Amino acid sequence: MTLDYAAAGELLERLSGAWVTFDGDAWVDLFTEDAESHRDPFEPPLVGRNALRADLLAAAEVEEQVEFTIERHWVVGPTVLAAWHLSYVHRTTRSRVRLSGFLTPEVAADGRIARARWWYNRRETAAAR
């Protein structure tokens, strides 16, 4: 499979949609069976679809009113480079959480993500009273 700009954009759109709706089936369908997701460069990655689904379900427990926007993306070989923004309301504290970051999914020949690396900054603001 040749990854072009349009195909990468569709992949990112599906990724953002699955996160916002917490659709576990759509989420894991984006990844290869043995995919790795690196959220912290100093910690081991999440490996495999079960771990990826569990991570999304954990997010669903604390996030609501989720907005996920891909600002811009580029394609270099089988790798997509994407700048993104995410915000949500924390279910327990009612604070607004904002993240801004960069994602580099490496896409396998079947069009699924084999490895994803996430870098981001996070800011949480107090709940409105």
- The pTM of the full predicted model, rounded to 2 decimals, is 0.91
Q: What percent of the chain has pLDDT over 70?
A: 98
Domains observed in the chain: 5-125 (3.10.450.50)
CA 114 to chain centre: 13
CA 62 to chain centre: 16
pLDDT tens sequence across 28-80: 999 999 999 999 889 999 999 999 999 999 999 999 999 999 999 999 999 99
Task: Give the pLDDT score at 121.
Answer: 95
